[in-house]
Amino acid sequence: MSIEPEASEPRWAVPPEGGWTADDLDTLPDLPRHTELIDGSLVFACPQTLFHSRAISFFGEHVRAAAPSAMETISRFTIDIDRHNRPEPDVIVLPRSVVRSMDQTRAPADAAELVIEVAADETLTRDRETKPVKYARATIPHYWRVENHDGRAVVYVFEREPASGAYTSTGIFHDRMKVSVPFPVDLDLTAITPRRRAADLG
């Protein structure tokens, strides 16, 4: 009877002393897609829900349409905060001048004008607590958090207050989101999770 060789453990399963670095995300073999680096630890993406997928597509499309022509809107792209933090916001808006190559895998966090995170049950603490602190320290002026409340999208909007260096809430939006900064945006949030038709319910 032949004995199957044991599968080798991936190199990223055992972190080095001091944790992984931002550069490691580009060099570690066989990392799962959309892996983030938070405080030197690898954070793997959970299976994506339909709400998460629809919300990312919605904001990617509509924010891109509303943003000034000098700005680039990118979905699920990593940003360098520091040596041990390279998160992947669901949507980011940054100057086109920062995008220099189609082979580029990341952008400097301090260049971002806006970051959007679509929260899930597994990411709620990171999106409400961990990431906003890091984004504010990286001097990103605007942060939006999108949550699913009983099948409807709710958007929490924050702006960085220069004196404290922390985010302050500037609005909570349920069915319609209308803001003037970082650029004018008027969104029908009900389009993210449209109500089921009567025929579908029957």
pLDDT, tens digit, 9 for 90 and up, residues 45-92: 999 999 999 999 999 999 999 999 999 999 999 999 999 999 999 999
With a cut of 70, which residues of the chain have pLDDT below it?
1-8, 195-202
Show Cβ contacts of residue 13 under 8 Å, excluding neighbours closer than 6 positions.
none
The pTM is what? 0.91
Residues 6+ apart with CB under 8 A from 185: 62, 63, 66, 177, 178, 179
The whole-number pLDDT of residue 4 equals: 55
CA distance 73 to 59: 9
pLDDT of residue 14: 84
Query: Is the distance from CB of 128 to CB of 101 less than 8 angstroms?
Result: no
pLDDT of residue 202: 42
pLDDT for position 11? 74
Which two tokens mark 36? Answer: 């983030």
d(CA 103, CA 80) in angstroms, rounded, equals 16
Q: What is the distance, to the nearest Å, from the Cα of residue 74 to the centroid of all Cα atoms in its chain?
A: 10
Query: What is the spatial distance between Cα 76 and Cα 50, in angstroms, rounded to a whole number?
Result: 16
Q: What is the DSSP string of 164-183?
A: TTEEEEEEEESSEEEE-SSS
